[in-house]
Structure 1
Amino acid sequence: MTSGSIVIGIGCRRGVSVEEIEAAVRAALGKFGKRSLAEVRVIASIEGKSDEAALLAFCERHKLPLRFYTAAQIADVETGASPYVQKHLGVGGVCEPCALLASHEGRIVVPKTAVDDVTVAIAADRHPLPSSSKGHA
């Protein structure tokens, strides 16, 4: 994997701590061959979490961009469904569909990993972003 070639989708309950998010992300990265945060291109979540302090603080701490998706966008992505998430957010899941939406035609490489009140999934880009220099096609 090259730098910036994986995407992390995060779902969480309201009021989680930045330490809980950190622990969940590190647990998921550990399942993917001990990857590091340096390989993460973007963090993704549902727009209802756009004011979640711990999520914002985690991304700020690690200088990672954060992208949000609407429930309608997430509903169009087929992944496993959680009755709890469906009841509270109106979608079947958050971390897996958000990771897929933020990836470049990617695939899930670490499925939903739950640590306390945080869920994390990792998608790997199928096609890396073009580099600034021209190379082979």
Structure 2
Amino acid sequence: MNIAVFSVTENGRQLSMRVSEVLGAEHRVSRYCFHKHTDDSSAVFWNMGSMVGRLFERSDAFIFVCACGIAVRAAAPYLGTKPDDPAIIVMDDGGRFVIPVLSGHIGGANHLAETLADSLGLTAVITTSDEEDAGFTLEGFAAANDLIICDTKAAKEIAAAVLHDEKIGYFSNYRHSGLPEELTEFGVCRKGICISTNTDDKPFDITVNLVPRNIVLGICCESETALENIENAVKTVLGGTDIRRVREIISAEENAALSSFCEKNDIHLRSYTAEELAGEEASCGKMAEMCSGGKLIIPETISDNVRIAAAEATVFLDFEKKI
């Protein structure tokens, strides 16, 4: 996740450093401090609302160490729809509470809040329904299993059906754990979910298509390769496959343009050194297969002077998994 941490006061600045230490091992954390209370490892802002606006599209989560009202006013102008909005968390600069304000389930705000509470000795104030009591939620299931929700309107229909105890149809060829009581693979259902790579599959009158984000790309290119070349190469190799299905890119070299491409498309980038590759010549296919744990679906191809291969990770749908 790309996480932006904002602080206003000196206490907040110090707390934001601790937040970065806790979350930095698993996420990309950037700190933004008010110009009166900053340090060398943070960016400076004068107007919080303007800075939030600049970061909004490329951030998965915002953590505000300040009054709740300040945070809400800074983020409110940029909010869109529930599935698209980032997680928003507020912490008081006294270091007592951590409160997920927005996207608790699907955006992972609840999980981040609980992680910070456990690591920093704070109290997490969770205001959403208890996940066990709430039963099946499409958003929580999709987030936990790295699935793309393709139709937000249909997703709302499914949410309404769950609230009214209406059985929801389920169709997928992927292996899965036991279905929750809200879903059924049998009988005739008007509304249902379909998990596949083909969004034209519509087994129900109202179908929510969920697409797995399980493609891993191996990419090798020169350090001076331009962003445009990488974009063209990926587009050419993927063909009609949605770029959102790519969850990770593996590379044998550090490359600024590749980093920019991954940040732009919300794709995790993992780099290997020659030593980590045990002195072997970097093979895009080998890297993609190794890191996906699945099978190669596109062998190594050269496009725009970029070597690229794609592998598809095995999908197992776990209805017990929480984000």
On whether the aligned pair clears a TM of 0.5, the verdict is yes
**Paired position in structure 1 for 2:245:** 39
Partner of 1:22, secondary structure, is helix
Aligned identity (percent) is: 35
Among 62, 74, 86, which residue is 2:265 paired with?
62
Runs of 4+ in 1 over 6 A off after TM superposition: none
The answer on 1:96 being equivalent to 2:285 is yes
Instruction: Measure, in 2, the Cα distance between the counterparts of 1:129 and 1:26.
Output: 27
The AA in structure 1 aligned to 2:220 is G
Matched residues in 2 for 1:55 and 1:109: separation?
Answer: 21
Counterpart residue type for residue 65 of structure 1: H
Give the Å deviation of 1:92.
2.7
Q: 1:134 offset after TM fit, Å?
A: 2.7
The equivalent residue for 2:320 is: 134
Structure 2, unaligned stretches of length 5 or more? 1-196, 198-210
**Aligned residue for 1:18?**
227
Larger radius of gyration: 2
1:82-121 equivalences under 5 Å are 90-103=279-292, 105-121=293-309
Provide the TM-score with structure 1 as the length reference. Answer: 0.72
How far apart, in 2, do the equivalents of 1:56 and 1:129 lie?
29
Q: Looking at both structures, which has the greater relative contact order when contacts are Cα pairs under 8 Å and sequence separation is at least 6?
A: 1
3-state DSSP class of the match of 1:56?
helix
- Equivalent residue letter for 2:301: T
Question: Any unmatched runs of 5+ in structure 1?
Answer: 76-89
Report how far residue 73 of structure 1 moved.
Answer: 4.6
1:63–1:45 Cα change, 3 Å = same
CA RMSD after TM alignment: 2.0
Alpha-carbon shift at residue 130 of structure 1 (Å): 4.9
Q: How far 1:107 sits from its partner (Å)?
A: 1.0
1:3 to 203, 207, 212: 212
Q: Equivalents in 2 of 1:128, 1:71: separation in Å?
A: 30
2:237 is the alignment partner of 1:28: yes
CA distance in 1, matches of 2:260, 2:309: 19
